[in-house]
Structure 1
Amino acid sequence: MTQTEYLPTGDQIVQELPWRWKVQGKIFLIGGLGFMFDAWDVTLNGVLIPLLSDHWDLAPAQAAWIGTANLVGMAVGAFAWGSIADLIGRRAAFTATLLVFSVFTVLGAFAPDIVWFCIFRFIAGFGLGGCVPVDYALVGEFTPRRQRGRVLTAMDGWWPVGAALCGFVSAGIMATIADWRWTMLVMVLPALLVFWVRRSVPESPLYLVSKGRTEEAERVINSLVERTGGTVRKWRLPDPEQAPRLSLGNVFEKLGQVWTFNWKITAAAWALFFSILLVYYLALTWMPRILIGAGFESARAFLTTAGMAAVGILGVVVAAAFVEKTGRKWILAVTAPLSGLILVLVALVIEAPAAVVFWLLAYGFMVQVAIPVLYAYVSELYPTALRGSGFGWASTFSRIGAGFGPLIFVSVLWPNLGLAWSFALAAVLVLAAVLWMARFAPETKGAELH
C-alpha cells in the first residue's frame, strides 16, 4: 500500500467537517422547504376530498381518487427521481422536482372535471414525489457524521410545518374566498421561489466522488473545508467510476441492486415505510371527512387536523434530541406501534369531540417522533451509490400503499369492519414491520457513510 492510500478520502473529509449554519445549514434549510411543500400537498388531499365531493357531487369511492392519483404520482416520482439523482446528480434533480409540481398544480386548479383533476394531480405528485429521496440524499451527504442523525431527523420538522400551514391556510381561504382552487394556487408562488433558490446549491461531493468527477469533487470539497474552517490536510479521491448513462433500464437496474445489496435490510426498509406511512396517510387523508361525519363543521375539522399536524413539531424535536442517544431502532420500535394504537383510540371515541381532539394531538405528536427517525434510518442503510435509489424505492412502495390504502379503506374496510377495526388492521402491519426490523436490520447510529 502506497503512502497516498493511507490518506483519508474526500467523502471522509466531508463527514468530519465542523457544522456551520452558513454552509451545511443553508443546504438543510433549502432542502427542508421542498419537504415542506411535500407535506402541504399531501395534507391538501384531505382538504380537497370534502370540498370537491360537494363541488362535483362525488361518492366516497370517487373522492378517494383525489388522494390516490396524487400519492401514486408521488410513488412514481419517488423511484424515478431517486434513481435519476443517483445517475445525473443530486443538484439537477433537486432543482427540477418543484418546477414540475408548480406547473401542474396550477393546471389542476383549473381542471374542468374530476378526471382531468386527477391527471394533473398525478403529474404534480410525480414532480413533488422526488423531493423526499433527493432532499434526504443531498442533505445527508453534506452533513458531518456527528450531526447527521440529528440533522436528518430535524428535516422532518418541515413536514408538520407544511401540514399545519395547509390546514390553517385552507381554513382561512374557505372562511373568506370560499373557493377550493385557491387552496392549491396559494402554494405555487413560494414553491417557484424555492425552485429558484435551489439553483445555488452545489453538487453533492459524495456523489461526485462516487462518479469519479475528480476536478469538480476537489473544488467542492476544498470549498467546504475553507468555508467551514475545517482542518486543512491532504486527502485523496477513490478510483474513478464510469458514470452510467440515464435510461429506463438503469432506473430498474437500481431496483435490482437495492435488493441484491441486502434483501433483508431492503425488506425492513420497505415494510417500515409502507406500514408507518400508511397509518399516517390514512389519518391525514380521511380525518377531515371523518370529523365532518362526526358532526364537526368544515372549518373546525380543517383546524383540528392542522393542530394534529402542528403538534408534530414537538415530536420532531423529541426525535432529534434522542436519536443519537437511544439509536434509530429503539425509537421506531416504541413510537410506531403506539401511533397505530392511538389512532384506534381516536376511532373508539369519535362521538366525543373533546376526547377526539386530545387523542388526535397525542397521535400527531407520537407519529412525528417515528417518521423523522424512519427517514434518517433508511437513508443510512445504503451506500452512496444506492442511497437515493434505496430511499426512493422504499418511498415509492410507501406512496403506493398510501395511494391505494385509503381507497381500499373507504371502499372496503371501513364499510365492512368499521373505523376502529380498520385502523387496528393498519396498526398490526406496523407491528409486523417493527419486529422484522428488530431481527434483520442493523443499527446505524454513528455509522460512517460509504
Structure 2
Amino acid sequence: MFSWYRQVSQGERYTFWACFGGWALDALDVQMFSLVIPAIIAEWGISKTQAGLVSGVTLVASALGGWICGAAADRYGRVKTLQVTVIFFSVFTLLSAFAQNYPQFIVLKALQGFGFGGEWAAGAVLMAETIRNEHRGKAMGAVQSAWAVGWGAAVLLYAAVFSFMSPDMGWRVMFAIGILPALLIIYIRRNVKEPVAPASKAAVAKGTKERTPLLSIFAPDVLRMTLIGGLLGVGAHGGYSALTTWLPTYLKTERHLSVLSTGGYLAVIIAAFFFGCLAASQLLDRIGRRQTILFFSVCCVATVIVYLFVPLSNHAMLALGFPLGFFAAGIPASMGALFNELYPRGTRGTGVGFCYNFGRVVSAGFPVMVGHLAAKYSLGFAIGVDAAFAYAIVAVSVMMLPETRGRTLTEDVAV
C-alpha cells in the first residue's frame, strides 16, 4: 500500500508531510466546534439553528478563502500562500477562545474559515504538482487521511479537557490550543520548495487570454468543469457537514451517551475515516477518479439511511459506525486529484480552490437545515435526510465529469 512512498524523492516526501501536518492541524481546529456545540448553546442560550448558523457562516467564509487564495497561489506561488493561510487560521482559532458573545464568536469563526479554505486550496495544488503522475492519486488520498488524525486528536482533547474542566471553560481552552498549527510554518520554510514558478503576467495573459484570474475558471473552455465540479463539492461538503457538525450532539442528546461514550463512538468513525482515505488512495490510481467517487457516494447514501433511520441498539450503531466513516472518507480523499486534473496550469489554483470550496457555500445551509428540521422532527431524522440527499448529488455529478487519471499537470490545455 505504501510502496509508492519509497519511490518518490525527498522533496516529494517533504511536501507530503507538510500537507499532511497542515490538514491534520486544520481538522483539529475545525472539528472542535462540533464537539463543543452543547457547551456554547448552554453558555449563550442560543438555539440549535443559531449553532448551525455558526458552522454555515464558517463554511461560506472558507469557500471565499479557497477561491481567493487559490487565485493567489496561481499568482504568487503555492508555498507562500500556504504559509500565510496557516498563520491566518491559527490566529483566529486562538482568538475564538476569547469571544465574549455570540456575534463576536461568529465573526471570528468566519475569519478562521477563510484561512482554512485558503490553506486547503494552496496545499492541494502544491501536492498535485509536486507528486509524480503515477502516484498522484495514492499520495493525495493518503494525505487526506490526516483529517482523521486531527479529528481524532480533537476528540481526545475534548474528552481530556471536559473531564477536568467545566464546559464554560473547557471549550475556550480547546480553541486556545488551536494556535498550534502556526508551528508548521517552521517546517514549511525549511523543507518545502515551490513546484512551479508563479505565473508571470505574460504567461497568465497567454494561458488565460487576458482573463481576470478569479474569473478565468468561467471561460467557455473550462466552464462546464467548474459548474459540475462545484456541484460535486456541494454534495461532498453538504453530506460531511450535516454528519460531523451534529453527530456528537445527536449521540449525546438523543442516544444519551456520556462524554466518554460519545468519544468511543466517534473513535470508531474516525478510525474508519482514516482507513477509508487509504482505500480510496489505492482505488484512484487503479480504477480511476470517477469510479472511485461513484462507489463511495452510493455506499454513503445506503449507510446513512441505515445508521439514522433504522432502529438500532447502541452496540449495532457502534459497529455500523465503521462503514459510515469508511465510506464518508472516500469522497474528500478523491476530490483533490480529480479537481487538479480538470484545469490547465495557469488557472489550476483558482479552479481547485473554487470547486472544492464552492461546495462550502451551498453546503453551509445543510447544518442550518439540520438545526431547523430538528425543531420539528428528531435530530437523527434531520441529519439523515440532509446527508443522504447530499451524497446523492455527488453520485449524479461525478457521472457528468471526464476520467482524468494519468493526466500530466504540465499541460496547458483543459480536458
TM (norm. structure 1) is 0.82
Aligned-residue sequence identity (percent) comes to: 22
Q: Report the Cα offset of residue 322 of structure 1.
A: 2.1
**2:3 aligned residue:** none
Once the two structures are TM-superposed, the CA of residue 166 in structure 1 deviates from its matched residue by 0.9
Residue 354 (str. 1) matches residue 344 (str. 2)? no
Match of 2:226 among 266, 269, 279: 266
Letter in 2 for 1:114: Y
Structure 2 counterpart of 1:193: 183
Residue 252 of structure 1 is matched in structure 2 by: 214
Aligned pair partner of 1:241 in 180, 184, 203? 203
Letter in 1 for 2:183: L
SS of equivalent residue, structure 2 residue 364: helix
Deviation at 1:306, TM superposition (A): 3.6
Over 3 Å counting, the alpha-carbon distance change for 1:21 and 1:172 in structure 2 is: farther
Q: Superposition pairs for residues 5-16 of structure 1, below 5 Å?
A: none
CA 1:112–1:263: 2 relative to 1, 3 Å: same
In structure 1, C-alpha distance between the alignment counterparts of 2:9 and 2:212, rounded to whole Å: 36
Give me the whole-angstrom Cα distance separating, in 2, the residues matched to 1:273 and 1:349.
28
Say which of 82, 86, 92 aligns to 1:94. Answer: 82
Is 1:176 the counterpart of 2:164? The answer is yes
Pair member with larger Rg = 1
1:383-394 correspondence to structure 2 within 5 Å:
383-394=344-355
1:373 aligns with 2:373: no
Q: Quick check: 1:316 aligned with 2:277?
A: yes
Select 1:402's aligned residue among 343, 363, 370: 363
User: What are structure 1's unaligned runs of at least 5 residues?
Assistant: 1-17, 213-239
> Partner of 1:3 in structure 2?
none
Maintained 8 Å contact 1:71/1:125: yes
Alignment of 1:288-299 (within 5 A): 288-294=248-254, 295-299=256-260
Alignment-derived partner of residue 301 in structure 2 = 340
* Equivalent of 2:137 in 135, 149, 174: 149
Q: Which residue of structure 1 aligns with residue 16 of structure 2? A: 28
Q: CA shift at 1:433, angstroms?
A: 3.7
| Structure 1 position 284, deviation (Å) | 0.6
What whole-Å deviation, never above 9, does each CA across 1:94-141 have from its counterpart, x for those lacking one?
110111112211211011111101111111111121111110101111
CA contact (8 A) 1:86 1:207 kept: no
Cα distance in structure 2, aligned partners of 1:429 and 1:62: 21
Q: CA deviation at 1:161?
A: 0.9
**Offset at 1:357?**
1.7
> Which segments of 5 or more consecutive residues in structure 2 lack a partner in the other structure?
1-5
With over 3 angstroms needed to count, the CA separation of the structure-2 counterparts of 1:432 and 1:313, relative to structure 1, is: closer
- Is the Cα contact below 8 Å between 1:38 and 1:129 reproduced in 2? no
Partner of 2:79: helix, strand, or coil?
helix
Structure 2 contact 93–175 (Cα < 8 Å) conserved: yes
Q: Deviations over 1:327-373 (max 9, x none)?
A: 11111111112112211211124662112222222110111123211
Question: In structure 2, which of residues 57, 69, 75 is the aligned counterpart of residue 69 of structure 1?
Answer: 57
CA distances 1:298-332 after superposition (whole Å, capped 9, x unpaired): 33223422431222111112112222111111111
1:64 Cα offset (Å): 1.5
How far 1:276 moved relative to its partner? 1.8
Q: 1:206 to 1:48 in 2, by over 3 A?
A: same
User: What SS does structure 2 have at the residue aligned with 1:241?
Assistant: helix
Residues 241 and 21 from structure 1, CA distance in 2 versus in 1: closer, same or farther, beyond 3 angstroms?
Answer: closer
Q: Is the 8 A contact 2:26 2:116 kept in 1?
A: yes
What per-residue deviation string (whole Å, max 9, x for no partner) do you get for residues 227-248 of structure 1? Answer: xxxxxxxxxxxxx62579xxxx
Give the structure 1 partner of residue 71 of structure 2.
83
AA aligned to 2:140 is L
Out of 191, 200, 218, the residue aligned to residue 211 of structure 1 is 200
User: Structure 1 residues 168 and 414 mapped into 2: Cα distance closer, same or farther (>3 Å)?
Assistant: same
2:47 maps to 1:59? yes
CA contact (8 A) 2:16 2:127 kept: yes
Deviation at 1:203, TM superposition (A): 5.0
Alpha-carbon shift at residue 255 of structure 1 (Å): 4.3
Contact 1:275 1:433 in 2 (8 A): yes
| CA distance in 1 between partners of 2:376 and 2:221 (Å) | 42
Change (3 A) 1:254 1:38: farther
Q: Report the alpha carbon displacement of residue 202 of structure 1 after superposing the two structures with TM.
A: 5.0
Q: Which one of the candidate residues 85, 90, 110 is aligned to 2:98?
A: 110
Size of the alignment, in residue pairs? Answer: 397
C-alpha displacement of 1:273:
1.2
- Tell me the residue number matched to 1:5: none
Cα distance in 2 for residues equivalent to 1:350 and 1:180: 32
Distance in 1 between residues matched to 2:45 and 2:374, nearest whole Å: 23
